[in-house]
Structure 1
Amino acid sequence: MNNKLKTGLVVLNYNDYKTTIKLIKMIKNYKSIDLIVIVDNCSTDKSYKKINEYTNNKIKLIKSDKNGGYAYGNNFGIHYLIENHKCDIIFIANPDVEFEENLVIEIKRQFEKNTKYSVLSGVMLDINGNVVKAPYWDIPSYRYDLLDYFFIGRRINKKEFKIDYNKKIMDVEVVPGSFLAIKAKVLKDIAYYDENTFLYCEESILATKLKNKGYKSGI
C-alpha cells in the first residue's frame, strides 16, 4: 500500500459522548488511519470535557462554532483534516458504527487500484450480522420523495437492494452516510457536503453532486 496516501477520519458528536468514546477506544490503534478528528457539534452536555480525556497526537477534538447540523459538522472536520493535515482520503463515521481495520485497509487498496471511484464503503450489517435492508440505494426522484411522505407511498417505493458478491466492487448510486470514504480532491471539487440541510438526505444530495461531476461510487 502507498504509505503516502494520508488518511483521516471524522466522527461527529452531539450529546452522545459515551457512544463516541466507545468508537474511539475501538479504532484508536488502527495504523491505517493517520488522524482521527472528533467534531463536537456544540453539545449541551459534558461531551467536550469527557471526550477530551481521550485525545492525543492521533485523536483530535475540535468544537464547531455552531450546531449547523450533520453536513455542517462533518464539513467542519473535513476542512480541518484537509487544510491542517493534508489528508488524501477522508473517512466519515457515525459514532454508533463498528468497523474492523481490514475494511479501512481494503478501501484504501481499492482506491489505489481503481482510481475511477471517488467514494467507497463496505456492506453494512445489522446488530445480528444480517445485511441491512438498504445497504445502498438509488438517487431518489421527485416522485419517489413525494410518495415517501405517505405510508402507502412507502409501500409503492419499496425495493430490494441485493448485493452482488461476485464483484470486488459493486457500482451503486448512494452509499450510506453512516460510514464511507471519499477522496479529498473530490470533496473540494463538489464543494463538500451541502450545508443547506440540517439532518437527513445528505447521502442522496452528495450522490447527486458526485454523479453530476461524473464520479463513481461503490461498495
Structure 2
Amino acid sequence: MNVALILNYKAATETVTCVESILQHCTSVDHIVLVDNDSQDGSVEAFNEWKQTTGQSKVTVLANPENNGYAGGNNYGIRWALNNLDITNFWIVNNDTYVDCDAFKPLQDALEKNDKQFVGSIILSAETGRLECYGGGKVYALLGKTKLLGKGLALENIQNLQDKPDYVMGCSLAFSKSLLDQVGLMDEEYFMYSEEVDWQYQAKKLGITSQVIPESRIYHHGSMSSGGRSAFYHYYRNRAAVRFNKRFYGSAFAFVSACLLSGIMAIQEFRKPNLVWSGIKGAFKGVTMSVK
C-alpha cells in the first residue's frame, strides 16, 4: 500500500485542496493519512465534516495531541500507519501544494527499482509555474545556509542544470517502509527546519542515497505555518541549522557557524533588530542543544 502523509496546522481549507488534488490525480496512492498538528482551530472537525460529506474512505484523519513540529507530526502519522496499514511506500507532501497529474507514480517506479533511497519531485511555484527548486538544495554548512537548486528557472531549462541537490526537500519526499526499518524516524528535536536534511545525511552514513525524479512535479504555494520571515522563522531556522552542524561537524564548527550566521543576519536585517536578536538567540541555542 502506498500512503501519502499530509500535515496540517491551521490551514484546513488549503489542506483539503491538496488532499482533493491527490485523490483526483494520484491513482497510485492507496490511502492518505491527514495529521492535524494540534491546530485547536476547528481543523479536525472541518476534516471530519468534509469526509462525511464526500463519503471519502481513502483518507484517515488523525489529531496529534501536541504540536511537535514537522518531524513530530509526520512521525505521528507514520507510526499510526505502520500499526494499522500494510505499508509499502510513504509519500510526505506539504499541505500547501497541489498536483495536476499523478506525481507519485514516477516516485513509486523509482522506489520499485531501488527501495534504499529517498526520492523527491521537482517543486514548481504555484504562482509563476517556474522552478521553486529542482527537488531540493545545496548545503553551505559553515554559513548555516542552504540554497534551493534551480530556483526561478523555467521548466524547459531544467536540462541546463549541471548540479544535483545535497538533499531532497520535504515538500515532496517518498521512501519505502524497508528504508524506515534501516534509518528510523526523523529527529523531533528540530521542531521546524532541517529535519529532512538531517534525516538524509544520517541515511548517507548507511549508504542510502537521495534522488530527484524529474517526471514527478508538484506545485507549491509557499509557507502557511511558519509565519514567513518572522522572528519565529529566524529563531527556529537558525537553531536548526546550527544544531545540524553540531551533529555532523562538531561543536567547534557549530560555534563558528553560529557566529557567522549571526553576523550575516545583522547585516541583512539591520533595520529589524527584533529579527536579528531572534536569529542570534536561535543560532546559539543550536550550539547548546544535545545531539547523538
TM-score, with length taken from structure 2: 0.62
Q: Distance in 1 between matches of 2:7 and 2:203?
A: 22
Q: CA deviation at 1:95?
A: 0.7
Q: What are the Cα deviations for residues 102-129 of structure 1, in whole angstroms up to 9, with x where unaligned?
A: 321111112223x165111121111211
Q: 1:9 aligns with which of 4, 29, 36?
A: 4
Is the contact made by 2:111 and 2:175 (CA closer than 8 Å) also made in structure 1?
no
Structure number with the bigger relative contact order (C-alpha 8 A, sep ≥ 6) is: 1
Match runs of 1:58-77 below 5 Å: 58-77=58-77
Is the contact made by 1:97 and 1:179 (CA closer than 8 Å) also made in structure 2?
no
Q: Match of 1:3?
A: none
Cα separation, partners in 2 of 1:108 and 1:165, compared to 1, 3 Å: farther
Which has a greater percent of helix? 2
Is the contact made by 1:36 and 1:58 (CA closer than 8 Å) also made in structure 2?
yes
Q: Match of 1:173?
A: 166
Q: Distance in 1 between matches of 2:191 and 2:38?
A: 14
**1:43 maps onto 2:39 in alignment:** yes
The structure with the largest alpha-carbon Rg is: 2
CA RMSD of aligned residues (A): 2.5
Is the contact made by 1:124 and 1:132 (CA closer than 8 Å) also made in structure 2?
yes
Is the contact made by 1:32 and 1:101 (CA closer than 8 Å) also made in structure 2?
no
Is the contact made by 2:71 and 2:187 (CA closer than 8 Å) also made in structure 1?
yes
Structure 2: runs of 5+ lacking an equivalent: 152-156, 213-292
- After TM superposition, where is structure 1 displaced by more than 3 Å over at least 4 residues in a row? 157-167
Q: Distance in 1 between matches of 2:148 and 2:130?
A: 17
Q: Distance in 1 between matches of 2:69 and 2:45?
A: 21
Is the contact made by 1:171 and 1:217 (CA closer than 8 Å) also made in structure 2?
no
Percent sequence identity over aligned pairs: 26
* 3-state SS, counterpart of residue 124 of structure 1: strand
Q: Match of 2:50?
A: 54
Cα separation, partners in 2 of 1:208 and 1:140, compared to 1, 3 Å: farther
* 3-state SS, counterpart of residue 13 of structure 2: helix
Match runs of 1:51-200 below 5 Å: 51-55=47-51, 56-113=56-113, 115=114, 117-127=116-126, 128-133=128-133, 135-141=135-141, 143-145=142-144, 148=145, 161=150, 165=159, 172-200=165-193
Tell me the amino acid that sits aligned with residue 202 of structure 1: E
Q: Match of 2:195?
A: 202
Q: Match of 1:32?
A: 28
Tell me the amino acid that sits aligned with residue 4 of structure 2: L
Between Structure 1 and Structure 2, how many residues are aligned? 200
Q: Distance in 1 between matches of 2:16 and 2:22?
A: 10
Which has a greater percent of strand? 2
**1:19 maps onto 2:14 in alignment:** yes
Q: CA deviation at 1:134?
A: 6.1
Q: CA deviation at 1:133?
A: 4.9
Structure 1: runs of 5+ lacking an equivalent: 1-5, 149-156
Tell me the amino acid that sits aligned with residue 123 of structure 2: M
Tell me the amino acid that sits aligned with residue 106 of structure 2: E
Q: CA deviation at 1:159?
A: 8.0
